[in-house]
Structure 1
Amino acid sequence: METLPPRQAVLDNYTDLNSLDSVKKMGREGDEQSLREVARQFEAMFVQQLLKTMRATEDVFADGNYTQSSEMKFHRDLLDQQMSLSMTHGKGMGLAEALFEQMRTQYGKLLPQGAAGTAAEPAMEKRSMTSIEASPLDAVQPANEMQRSSEIANNPESKIRQFVEGVFDAANAAAKALGVAVDGVIAQAALETGWGEHILTDSQGDVSNNLFNIKADARWAGPTVTKEVLEYSDGRPVQMFSDFRKYASLGEAFEDFTQFLQSSSRYQSALNSESVKEYANALQAGGYATDPKYAHKIVQIAESPLLKKILAQKLL
């Protein structure tokens, strides 16, 4: 008979009133083993709901059957609850593994493939770029943001290196003009586009080169890209189409981004920042994004060993 580890044994017994507290504690620990167990518990809850629905259908046909007493149903429900935990032990249905990968990405624990020992870039939460004229409360989120989040966490080193090398010269020029560190600018572009994997495109599939998802306001006379986005107004999400700026090159995108920050009074404190953290915090304080962890994510990407290694080689 298989013997479960002490913590596993507790969590596999639905009658233990402390099991949910154990799951809460494990979630706070943030390690991979804890996240796996939390995911498995959610899978067990899902299976339990399936069994409950199945039993409800069965009860329709069992109405009036003397063998289906309330006591029998009570014990059957107890069995189903325990069965849901047993069915999800081990590989289970596969749902737990999918949830685990999502949570590991969400909490920034996933390492880029092929980059052992490298800190992972965090997944983007619901945040957005605001236009120059927009209020900090009026935010926009590209519709494929969750997909970009996954790309940030899963990109192999070669793709990350390719992105950094492709934007380095333009990013370095922008950083010097803004008086900030180049790693902060590159980290922000990486966060916005999933290391360049999800740059906005137009209806013909042409790339916009808009690495910072800057919207096209009334003063923008250049080409645009129209995308369905999630707008936040007074804290309420509204799905709508918005126009974003389109650039002829990455260099033009960085030049416009530089002017975007320099021309707005909201971001003056971000200019000439002494550190990436100061730069990122100033952007967030100015209303650049609605995600409360936006600044933290930029800093975490900038401080990742892989990006530091690549930039060190470029700056030699």
Structure 2
Amino acid sequence: MKKGMDKYPKKRKRKSSKIVKSLPIISILLIIASTIIVSTLFKEDFKKIENEISRVLNPNLKFIEDVSVYAKQNYQEYGILPSITIAQAILESDFGRSALSKEYNNYFGIKSINKDEKRVIFSTKEYVNNNQIEIKDAFKVFDSMEDSVKYHGLLIGTAKIYQKVVEAKDYVEAANMLYECGYATDPAYAQKLIEIIEQYKLYEYD
């Protein structure tokens, strides 16, 4: 009797042990299956959440997204490549961290030639005969980022001097034309824009 009783619990114990051992594997499989189903059903929602998290964690990406909204509008209205507009805003304002952009919404270093308009005097670096010098100059003041980007579009899109920028077939040519047309005095201006565009894949906005 004792022997029979000893064998029976042992068998039950082995079955129970097998079930317990298989539980982690079943749990993992269920988690994987659930993840696949949920990710398939809500793929777009996850992408939106992922993008939003990236924007919060990386202020540079948020700045790019903010400027791109108005850059695309400039493209529709004037034909200016969004990658060029965004890259200029990045370069000229240091992702919106410069005093001129933070305090006066001037994201493109646009100077003022009208004494009756909103303007501010700032120190700026210019190149004369390939030598960098610092001077004080007047810059336009804008009410918002939107106003700043729209004015940039108006300037590049309608001023005859920048016609070659608008007609450029790609961002490389447009960047070079900006320098040749006199937008900036920095000899490396075009190359800096191109590097920014390629680093942040801004050509995807074109």
Q: Secondary structure at the match of 1:197?
A: coil
Q: Within 5 Å, give how 1:49-60 maps onto structure 2.
A: none
Q: Verify: 1:271 aligned to 2:166, yes or no.
A: yes
**Contact 2:197–2:203 (CA under 8 A) maintained in structure 1:** no
Displacement after TM superposition at 1:251 (Å): 1.1
Q: Secondary structure at the match of 1:290?
A: coil
Q: Verify: 1:212 aligned to 2:104, yes or no.
A: no
Match in the other structure for 2:77: 177
Q: Verify: 1:297 aligned to 2:192, yes or no.
A: yes
Distance 1:274 1:293 in 2: 21
Distance 2:94 2:126 in 1: 20
Match of 1:257 among 143, 152, 160: 152
Match of 1:191 among 91, 99, 103: 91
Q: Within 5 Å, give how 1:134-153 maps onto structure 2.
A: none
**Contact 2:128–2:185 (CA under 8 A) maintained in structure 1:** no
Distance 1:157 1:192 in 2: 23
| Ranges in structure 2 where 5+ consecutive residues have no aligned partner | 1-55
**Contact 1:189–1:212 (CA under 8 A) maintained in structure 2:** yes
Displacement after TM superposition at 1:268 (Å): 0.8
Residue identity in the other structure for 1:195? F
Give the root-mean-square deviation of aligned CA atoms.
Answer: 2.8
Displacement after TM superposition at 1:264 (Å): 2.5
Distance 1:261 1:267 in 2: 6
Q: Verify: 1:200 aligned to 2:95, yes or no.
A: no
Q: Secondary structure at the match of 1:303?
A: helix
Give CA deviations for 1:223-264 in whole Å, capped at 9, x if unaligned.
112112345556676544211001011111112111212343
Residue identity in the other structure for 1:255? K
Displacement after TM superposition at 1:272 (Å): 3.4
Q: TM-score, normalised by structure 1?
A: 0.43
Match in the other structure for 1:11: none
Match in the other structure for 1:224: 119
**Contact 2:89–2:108 (CA under 8 A) maintained in structure 1:** yes
Q: Within 5 Å, give how 1:45-194 maps onto structure 2.
A: 158-194=58-94
Displacement after TM superposition at 1:269 (Å): 0.5
**Contact 2:84–2:175 (CA under 8 A) maintained in structure 1:** yes
Distance 1:291 1:236 in 2: 9
Residue identity in the other structure for 1:186? I
Give CA deviations for 1:52-90 in whole Å, capped at 9, x if unaligned.
xxxxxxxxxxxxxxxxxxxxxxxxxxxxxxxxxxxxxxx
Distance 2:183 2:104 in 1: 20
**Contact 2:126–2:186 (CA under 8 A) maintained in structure 1:** no
Distance 2:58 2:88 in 1: 19
Q: 1:225 to 1:284 in 2, by over 3 A?
A: same
Displacement after TM superposition at 1:178 (Å): 2.8
Q: TM-score, normalised by structure 2?
A: 0.63
Match in the other structure for 2:140: 245
Rg (Cα) greater in structure:
2
Distance 2:191 2:128 in 1: 24
Q: As a proportion of its length, which structure holds more helix?
A: 2
| Ranges in structure 1 where 5+ consecutive residues have no aligned partner | 1-155
Displacement after TM superposition at 1:277 (Å): 0.6
Distance 1:169 1:292 in 2: 29
